[in-house]
């Protein structure tokens, strides 16, 4: 048992207690009172140089505040970098606690202020950190990969909030690259994530090897809709973010037992360490990848309707009686996101979308009117499927063109350098 010692009331041997600290100690105390923190004092005392403090978010030019899902964060970051480079810059400061948190932030702003720190992006696309006001700040917009009413407990959009559709994301079941597993069915996913070890679906019977998200995550909401598992009943370890799901499964000692799910853009960005499984939905006779193969990037499975797990991304913001965002900078941000405003000079938003692993609506051949709702055939009014193929894969079977006169009768319209059907 450790011994306890009582400090003596006076020093042994009658020595005098020093009444005044040394000059170095006095200097340190004064520094601690005047510096922002201990790291700053180290510089004054000749120690290791301090790191620069994060800027305040409020000091950034044209700042708008957002909250929502981690799945949409990489996409928001690419757009934010472009907006930061405008002649009148717009800075996007974003927190990603979970998709459905956006509904609470917009539905009751004063009770759900953003505090702590947020991520913002410079013109080079580098993610940086800024400090939010100590008293908090209300969110200007929310971002999610699902409709508002897909969130637990949400029956309608908050009053005065608009919903703006954006690009398409797939949702992927993932395993480490050194796993031998190739596919998963909706039935298997139901027992794996709904019952864990008791589900008995080999090799995914170790609950600590299952990477899940909490009930506010769009990823969990989508898998819940697809499989029928209640969003708050998933078995596994909460990975906190979509990237966290990747990190968790690749850290499992036995890769055969590891399984998780995340957004398609995160899965694509981590193909060096993780693979997407083919997914077989209820009623399908085989599994499909989001792409035409396990190694392709063409999103054919999503665009043609074979791969079931895809949804539209959404931005939500306060709007006026005409449905226009009330914050002018948010209105610009959403206008670019939704394609209702022409892109800023020198910024190719279509290329940013494709590079992020998303599908623009103009490249889709099927559509649905809700999260995992029934599919129907779709012909975009201004298609870009040929251009998408070329940018995503480096090749296309479409005819090159500079004008409509270069195009055959079955694809008579020249768009973005390729002949489209209309």
Domains in the chain, ordered, with CATH? 23-53 (no CATH), 57-165+312-338 (3.40.190.10), 167-310 (3.40.190.10), 379-422 (no CATH)
Supply the DSSP string of 247-309, one letter for each residue.
HHHHT-SSGGG-EEEEEHHHHHHTTTTEEEPEEE-TT-SS-B-SSSSSS--S-HHHHTT-S--
User: In whole numbers, what is the pLDDT of the chain averaged over residues?
Assistant: 90
pLDDT of residue 347: 86
Paired tokens of 11: 């020093």
What Cα–Cα distance (Å) separates residue 56 from each residue in 59, 117, 119, 133, 329? 5, 9, 11, 7, 19
Is the pLDDT at 295 greater than 70, yes or no? yes
- 128 Cβ partners below 8 Å, 6+ apart? 54, 119, 120, 121, 122
Paired tokens of 9: 């009331």
Is the pLDDT at 43 greater than 70, yes or no? no
pLDDT of residue 340: 86
Over the stretch 116-135, which tens digit does the pLDDT of each residue have?
Answer: 999 999 999 999 999 999 99
Is the pLDDT at 22 greater than 90, yes or no? no
Is the pLDDT at 35 greater than 60, yes or no? no
Is the pLDDT at 163 greater than 80, yes or no? yes
Over the stretch 409-419, which tens digit does the pLDDT of each residue have?
Answer: 999 999 999 99
Whether residue 126 has a cis bond before it, omega within 30° of 0 = no
pLDDT of residue 52: 61
CA 333 to chain centre: 17
Q: Is residue 125 classed exposed, middle or buried when 0-12, 13-18 and 19+ CB atoms within 10 A define those classes? A: middle
Work out the average pLDDT over 144-173. 96
Over the stretch 217-273, which tens digit does the pLDDT of each residue have?
Answer: 999 999 999 999 999 999 999 999 999 999 999 999 999 999 999 999 999 999 999
pTM: 0.86
In this structure, the number of other CB atoms found within 10 A of the CB of residue 297 comes to: 18
Confidence of residue 8 (pLDDT cuts 50, 70, 90): very low
pLDDT of residue 343: 84
Helix (H, G, I), strand (E, B) or coil at 363: helix
Over the stretch 370-392, which tens digit does the pLDDT of each residue have?
Answer: 999 999 999 999 999 999 999 99
186-195 and 218-227 helices, crossing angle to 10°: 120
pLDDT of residue 161: 98
pLDDT of residue 391: 97
pLDDT of residue 46: 42
Work out the average pLDDT over 158-169. 96
Is the pLDDT at 17 greater than 50, yes or no? no
DSSP β-ladder status, 141-144 and 64-68 = parallel
Q: How far apart are CA 161 and CA 103, in angstroms?
A: 10
pLDDT of residue 329: 97
Paired tokens of 145: 């990969």
Helix (H, G, I), strand (E, B) or coil at 66: strand
* Side-chain half-sphere exposure of 380, counting CA atoms within 13 A: 15
Over the stretch 71-91, which tens digit does the pLDDT of each residue have?
Answer: 999 999 999 999 999 999 999
pLDDT of residue 316: 98
In the chain, % of residues over pLDDT 70: 88
The answer to whether 95 and 119 are in contact (CB under 8 A) is: yes
Q: How far apart are CA 216 and CA 103, in angstroms?
A: 10
The answer to whether 48 and 42 are in contact (CB under 8 A) is: yes
pLDDT of residue 171: 98
Q: What angle do CA 22, 28, 33 make, to 5 degrees?
A: 130
Hey, CA dihedral for 349, 355, 361, 365, is it positive or negative?
Answer: positive
Contacts 24+ apart (CB under 8 A), 280-287: 280/183, 280/184, 280/185, 280/186, 281/185, 281/186, 281/226, 281/308, 281/309, 282/186, 282/187, 284/308, 287/183, 287/184, 287/185
Q: What are phi and psi of 178, to 5 degrees?
A: -90, 15
User: By C-alpha distance, which of 176, 115, 169, 109 is closest to 144?
Assistant: 169
Q: How far apart are CA 159 and CA 370, in angstroms?
A: 20
The answer to whether 356 and 74 are in contact (CB under 8 A) is: yes
Q: Which helix (H) or strand (E) holds 353?
A: helix 349-355
Is the pLDDT at 54 greater than 60, yes or no? yes
Confidence of residue 36 (pLDDT cuts 50, 70, 90): very low
Over the stretch 309-364, which tens digit does the pLDDT of each residue have?
Answer: 999 999 999 999 999 999 999 999 999 888 888 888 888 999 999 999 999 999 99
Q: How far apart are CA 104 and CA 96, in angstroms?
A: 13
The answer to whether 289 and 276 are in contact (CB under 8 A) is: yes
Is the pLDDT at 44 greater than 80, yes or no? no
The separation between the first and the last C-alpha atoms of the chain, rounded to the nearest angstrom, is 84
Q: How far apart are CA 173 and CA 191, in angstroms?
A: 14
């Amino acid at each position: 048992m450790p011994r306890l010692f009582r400090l003596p009331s006076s020093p042994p041997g009658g020595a005098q207690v020093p009444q005044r600290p040394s000059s170095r100690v006095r200097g340190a105390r004064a520094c601690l009172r005047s510096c922002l923190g201990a790291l700053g004092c180290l510089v004054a005392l000749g120690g290791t140089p301090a790191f620069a403090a994060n800027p305040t978010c409020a000091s950034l030019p044209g700042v708008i505040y957002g909250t929502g899902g981690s799945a949409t964060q990489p996409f928001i970051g690419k757009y934010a970098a472009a907006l930061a480079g405008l002649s009148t810059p717009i800075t996007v400061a974003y927190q990603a606690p979970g998709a459905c948190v956006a509904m609470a932030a917009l539905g009751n702003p004063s009770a759900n202020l953003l505090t702590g720190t947020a991520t913002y992006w410079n013109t080079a696309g580098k993610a940086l950190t800024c400090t939010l006001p100590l008293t908090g700040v209300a969110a200007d917009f929310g971002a999610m990969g699902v409709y508002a009413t897909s969130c637990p407990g949400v029956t309608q959009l908050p009053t005065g909030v608009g919903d703006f559709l954006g690009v398409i994301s797939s949702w992927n079941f993932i395993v480490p690259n050194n796993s031998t597993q190739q596919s998963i069915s909706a039935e298997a996913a139901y027992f794996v994530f709904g019952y864990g070890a008791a589900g008995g679906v080999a090799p995914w019977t170790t609950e600590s090897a299952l990477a899940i998200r909490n009930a506010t995550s769009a990823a969990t909401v989508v898998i819940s809709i697809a499989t029928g598992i209640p969003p708050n009943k998933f078995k596994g370890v909460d990975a906190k973010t979509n990237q966290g799901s990747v990190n968790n499964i690749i850290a499992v000692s036995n890769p055969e037992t590891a399984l998780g799910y995340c957004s398609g853009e995160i899965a694509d960005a981590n193909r060096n360490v993780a693979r997407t499984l083919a997914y077989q939905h209820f009623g399908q006779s085989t599994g499909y990848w989001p792409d035409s193969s396990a190694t392709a990037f063409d999103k054919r499975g999503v665009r043609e309707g074979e791969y079931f797990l895809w949804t539209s991304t959404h931005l939500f913001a306060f709007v006026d009686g005409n449905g226009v965002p009330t914050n002018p900078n948010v209105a610009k941000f959403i206008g670019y996101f939704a394609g209702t405003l022409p892109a800023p000079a020198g910024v190719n938003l279509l290329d940013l979308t494709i590079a992020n692993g998303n599908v623009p609506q103009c490249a889709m051949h099927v559509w649905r009117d809700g999260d995992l709702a029934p599919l129907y055939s779709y012909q975009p009014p201004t298609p870009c499927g040929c251009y998408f193929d070329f940018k995503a894969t480096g090749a296309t079977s479409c005819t090159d063109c500079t004008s409509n006169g270069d195009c055959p009768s079955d694809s008579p319209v020249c768009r973005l350098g390729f002949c489209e059907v209309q």
